């Protein structure tokens, strides 16, 4: 399939995990890529790997929590690629920390990347999409934005904010033919989760909380992003799609 042939897709947090899998899925279906990451070495390796596969890639090293860097990256993308048709706001960070122990610094760090950074990128890209009178923005939320989880107050708050930001963007941008949706993964096996949890924890989690009996894969989330950006979803906006193997069905 070439559902996205010739379209320009910008992906934040694109050098690893869900971001990389999502970028690869869109490229495999014909898209040209603008890849954003704050890890230059990983970003350059991803760009080389994708170029070897014949994909068109523009790597942009940027810290999305800094508005000036976001402005510069988007200006570069528009200048070199001409437009942005689809934005995947994937970048995010998380770690486990008891509510009573969260420092001001740690609270701000997670909110700055997961919510503020998403706002900066979305607002700047949306201004270009308004001129185009078309676009699709997909935000990475989480089941943690819909239900609470102990020791993740800062992460939960950031993802809850993403859910409501998504709805409000959908309300305001729909008149410009711009759709905005969120994806809410459950437990997806990525380098981020592997750095937090050991194999025993993962096994117990699967056994007790996931009806489908396995952890999610990055490809599971990438497929939902691709569906929401496709012509099959042109009447879907303002939604938060859960991808969790049935966990929230309990």
Please tell me the distance from the alpha carbon of residue 217 to that of residue 189, in angstroms, as a whole number. 6
Q: Contact 29/4 with Cβ under 8 angstroms? A: yes
Give the SS3 label for residue 208.
helix
Catalytic residue among 55, 120, 152, 155: 155
Residue 155 annotated as catalytic: yes
Check if the beta carbon of residue 227 is closer than 8 Å to that of residue 29.
Answer: no
Residues in the chain: 250
88 secondary structure, DSSP code: E
Alpha-helix residue ranges (DSSP H) falling in the chain: 17-28, 40-52, 67-81, 104-111, 118-132, 153-173, 191-196, 199-209, 218-229
Tokens read off for 118:
């998403």
Distances in Å between the Cα of 150 and the Cα atoms of 29, 143, 161, 203, 206 are 39, 13, 17, 19, 18
CA atoms within a 13 Å half-sphere pointing along the CA-CB vector of 34: 26
By annotation, the residues acting in catalysis are 155
């Amino acid at each position: 399939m070439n559902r996205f042939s010739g379209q320009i897709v910008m992906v934040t947090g694109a050098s690893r995990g869900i971001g990389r899998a999502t970028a690869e899925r869109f490229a495999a279906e014909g898209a040209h890529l603008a890849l954003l990451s704050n890890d230059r070495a990983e970003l350059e390796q991803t760009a080389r790997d994708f170029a070897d596969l014949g994909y068109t890639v523009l790597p942009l090293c940027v810290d999305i929590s800094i508005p000036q860097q976001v402005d510069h990256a988007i200006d570069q993308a528009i200048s070199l690629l001409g437009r942005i048709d689809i934005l995947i706001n994937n970048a995010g960070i998380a770690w486990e920390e008891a509510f009573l122990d969260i420092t001001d610094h740690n609270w701000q760090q997670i909110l700055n990347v997961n919510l503020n950074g998403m706002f900066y990128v979305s607002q700047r890209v949306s201004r270009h999409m308004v001129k185009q009178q078309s676009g699709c923005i997909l935000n990475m939320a989480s089941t943690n934005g819909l239900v609470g989880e102990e020791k993740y107050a800062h992460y939960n708050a950031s993802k809850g904010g993403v859910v409501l930001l998504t709805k409000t963007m959908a309300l305001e941008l729909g008149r410009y033919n711009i759709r905005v949706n969120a994806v809410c993964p459950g437990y997806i096996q990525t380098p981020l989760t592997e750095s937090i949890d050991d194999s025993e924890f993962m096994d117990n989690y699967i056994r007790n909380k996931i009806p489908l009996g396995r952890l999610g894969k990055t490809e599971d989330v990438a497929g939902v992003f691709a569906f929401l950006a496709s012509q099959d979803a042109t009447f879907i906006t303002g939604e938060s799609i859960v991808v969790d193997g049935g966990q929230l069905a309990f």
